[in-house]
Amino acid sequence: MKFSINFASLFLIPLLLGSNASIANTNAADSLFNQLDQDWIRAQWHLKKFDQLVDEGTVAEELFTSKVYSNLQALHVRLEETSEQLAELGYSFIKNAEEFRKFENELTGARLSHPYQKWVRDNSTRMLRAREGFIKSTWKLEKDYDFKYETKMENELSFVPLDAELEELSKDFQNEFRSVFLSSKSDILIEPSSEANGNVTGNRFPKGTWSVTWDDGPHKSNTQKIIEGLEEISRESSIPIKGDFFTLVPLALTYPEVSKMKLAHGMGVQDHSFNHYDLTRSGMSKHWDKEIIESADVLESHYSAFCDNGVKIRPTFFRLPYGAGLHHKTIRDKIAKASMIHAFWNVDTLDWQDRNPARIFLRTKKQIESHNRKNRGGLILFHDIHQTTITGSLDTVRYLVNSGNNVWRLDRVVAAVNGVAYVETQCNIKTN
Q: Residues 154, 190: one domain?
A: no
Give the Å distances, CA to CA, from 29 to 41, 76, 89, 235, 263.
18, 19, 7, 49, 41
**Residue percentage of the chain with pLDDT more than 90:** 67
Higher per-residue confidence, 284 vs 129: 284
Q: What is the mean pLDDT of residues 169-176?
A: 96
430 occurs within a structural domain: no
364 occurs within a structural domain: yes
Q: Residues 222, 337: one domain?
A: yes
Q: Residues 94, 213: one domain?
A: no
Q: Which domain holds residue 271?
A: 186-418
From the list 327, 354, 348, the residue with the least C-alpha distance to 396 is 348
pLDDT class of 315 with cuts at 50, 70, 90: very high
**Mean pLDDT over each residue of the chain, to the nearest integer:** 82
Q: What is the mean pLDDT of residues 85-90?
A: 69
171 occurs within a structural domain: no
**What's the total number of domains in the chain?**
2
The pLDDT, as a whole number, for residue 397 is 98
Distance of CA 240 to the CA centre of its chain: 25
Question: What does the DSSP 8-state code read for residue 96?
Answer: S
Q: Are 120 and 140 in contact (CB under 8 A)?
A: yes
431 occurs within a structural domain: no
Evaluate if residue 399 carries a pLDDT over 80: yes
Q: Residues 128, 218: one domain?
A: no
Partner residues linked to 271 by β-bridges = 247, 318
Output the pTM of the full model.
0.84
The pLDDT, as a whole number, for residue 35 is 85
Taking the C-alpha atoms of residue 313 and residue 301, their distance in angstroms, rounded to an integer, is 8
Phi, psi for residue 431 in degrees, rounded to 5? -90, -20
Phi-psi region of 391 (alpha: psi -120 to 50; beta: other; left: phi over 0): alpha
**Residue percentage of the chain with pLDDT more than 70:** 76
Q: Residues 126, 193: one domain?
A: no
Q: Residues 237, 320: one domain?
A: yes
Taking the C-alpha atoms of residue 106 and residue 109, their distance in angstroms, rounded to an integer, is 5
174 occurs within a structural domain: no
Q: Residues 109, 210: one domain?
A: no
pLDDT class of 102 with cuts at 50, 70, 90: low
Distance of CA 369 to the CA centre of its chain: 23
Q: Residues 158, 196: one domain?
A: no
Q: Residues 135, 269: one domain?
A: no
Q: What is the mean pLDDT of residues 60-72?
A: 97
Q: Residues 157, 190: one domain?
A: no
Taking the C-alpha atoms of residue 191 and residue 399, their distance in angstroms, rounded to an integer, is 30
178 occurs within a structural domain: no
Length of the chain: 432
What torsion, rounded to 10 degrees, do the Cα atoms 56, 57, 61, 62 define? Answer: -10
424 occurs within a structural domain: no
380 occurs within a structural domain: yes
